[in-house]
Structure 1
Amino acid sequence: MDEELDDVARVEERHRDDRVLDAGALRALAHPLRVRMYDILSQYGPQTASSLAERLGESSGSTSYHLRALAKHDLIREQADRGTARERWWERPVGGVSFGNPDAMATPAGRAASQLVMNEFLRGRNDQLLDFVGRGMAGIDPEWQHGTLISTATARLTPEQSKVLSHKIMALIDDAVDTYRNQTGENVRPVSIRADVFPLPELGEKS
């Protein structure tokens, strides 16, 4: 029990200063292409308008415009010590971000922006998972096969038990992120780490 309380306290302390996006930042991010660009910066690190354009099948003029819109609300920032006047590099600041702003959720426009951002973010991550499964897990290197986990389970929990479980999982994720965030070297590549803990509707209850 003491270990569980330690996990809860550690996670709450670490994420106490996570940025909660205000209504303006949510509206700025509430565009499918901007969410995709923001997520690429989160997963793959700094990019230019040209590298994002090539990855997304867009023009560099379009990605440059959307990068400036994201930067206006401090969602991303320019790497001042890298690049040139013609080729600017952009990064997502380190730190947690929450899309669930209670004030924004209190208005129809805020709820719509939050919903769009969450939908696009989860759609992109789901597409990555389905693409990985579609290509066949057996097609990856054996050493990566042993390091891959796709698993679902169901347990019957109280809200407090669900909170403790969520914090224990987050503690593991936080440790991995803190330890390996900037790791480089042979056979190092971005790895998606995902955890979902949420209550299912009761039988007969509309989901």
Structure 2
Amino acid sequence: MDEEIREEGRDDAETESALLAHHRDDRVLDTGALRALAHPMRVRIYDILSQYGPQTASSLAERLGESTGSTSYHLRALAKHDLIEEVEGRGNARERWWQRPVGGVSFANPDAMKSPAGRAATQLVMNEFFHLRQEQLMRFIQGGLMSEDPEWQESSMISTAHARLTPAQSAELSHKIMAVIDEAVEKHRNQTGDDVRPVTIRADVFPLPELGEES
């Protein structure tokens, strides 16, 4: 029994070490980048590029119901802070393709949170980002859950659970979940095929308020 405990502890340490190494180069957005992203339309554009891959100002305008001039303006603002980049060898002077650089991005910058402007930008970006994610979830529940092909219905998952954990146990669980997600993303990032579609992966692990503390 003791040997099993030691082996499990070693596996957990290896998982955490591998996870830290994998995310060591993740970009932590500075205040300038956060302020550039802190616009609902730019968050939407950034999200589309993240989920669906390279787009042009025209394809974004059609998807978002905006003018090409508007999407071009926001694309330039995002590119100025290297939040997006032009796709090399694709497009021309009239039709430029844009993509989100490969790699993790963190909105949580302790230095940015020290200033009112940084806090406001961070809050706007995160509010809009998770609002979009919630919209996608509700659209799937209200329509896609029953209208998708049976294969997609059976392979999708909406699940919640609750446990009583210490901070260390919560960190351990988060690391294990992220390791599984990282493996899938790295393995299938550029996959193509008839049955391949963009899939959103959500994982939320956070403490609940004590009873009576809810606002």
- Counterpart in 1 of 2:210? 202
- Counterpart in 1 of 2:43? 35
- Residue aligned with 1:151, SS: coil
How many residue pairs match? The answer is 207
- Residue aligned with 1:185, SS: coil
- Residue aligned with 2:89, SS: strand
- Counterpart in 1 of 2:130? 122
Partners of 2:98 and 2:193 in 1: CA distance: 22
Partners of 2:190 and 2:95 in 1: CA distance: 23
Letter in 2 for 1:183: Q
Partners of 1:102 and 1:28 in 2: CA distance: 18
- Residue aligned with 1:89, SS: strand
Partners of 1:82 and 1:195 in 2: CA distance: 34
Partners of 1:55 and 1:132 in 2: CA distance: 18
TM-score by length of 2: 0.95
Partners of 2:182 and 2:85 in 1: CA distance: 23
Gaps of 5+ in 2: 1-8
- Counterpart in 2 of 1:76? 84
1:147 paired to 2:155: yes
Partners of 1:134 and 1:7 in 2: CA distance: 37
Partners of 1:100 and 1:50 in 2: CA distance: 32
Partners of 1:94 and 1:79 in 2: CA distance: 12
Partners of 1:201 and 1:16 in 2: CA distance: 31
Q: CA deviation at 1:206?
A: 3.6
Letter in 2 for 1:82: R
Partners of 1:67 and 1:41 in 2: CA distance: 11
Return the match for 1:88 from 88, 96, 118.
96
Gaps of 5+ in 1: none
Larger Rg computed on CA atoms: 2
Deviations 1:105-134 (A, max 9, x none): 001110000000000000001100100111
Runs of 4+ in 1 over 6 A off after TM superposition: none
- Identity, in percent, stands at 71
Instruction: Answer with 197-206 or 65-74: which moved more.
Output: 197-206
